[in-house]
Amino acid sequence: MRFIRLAAGIAITVQAIIARDAMLVVLGLLFTGMPLFNIGCCGTSGCAAPAKKNSVTTKDITYEEVV
């Protein structure tokens, strides 16, 4: 996915330079910077939920026989 974003960013930047559009240059640099610095929505485990740590140990259950 990072290579696709990098290719899209380079393509947008090149097209913006050819068209002389400053806003598209900024957008192209944004799309190019995301894969280079590995940032984004789910870049470095941004969407991962932390594992719940249970510090309570299990207790032995004692049973009483009913007659």
pLDDT for 42 = 60
Yes or no: say if 34 and 5 are a contact pair by the CB < 8 Å rule: yes
CA distance 63 to 6: 64
Residue with more model confidence, 43 or 59? 59
Query: With 70 as the cut, is the pLDDT of residue 12 above it?
Result: yes
Cα 66 → chain centroid: 57
Exposed / middle / buried, residue 6 (Cβ in 10 Å: 0-12, 13-18, 19+): middle
State residue 44's pLDDT score. 57
Return the higher-pLDDT residue of 21 and 57.
Answer: 21
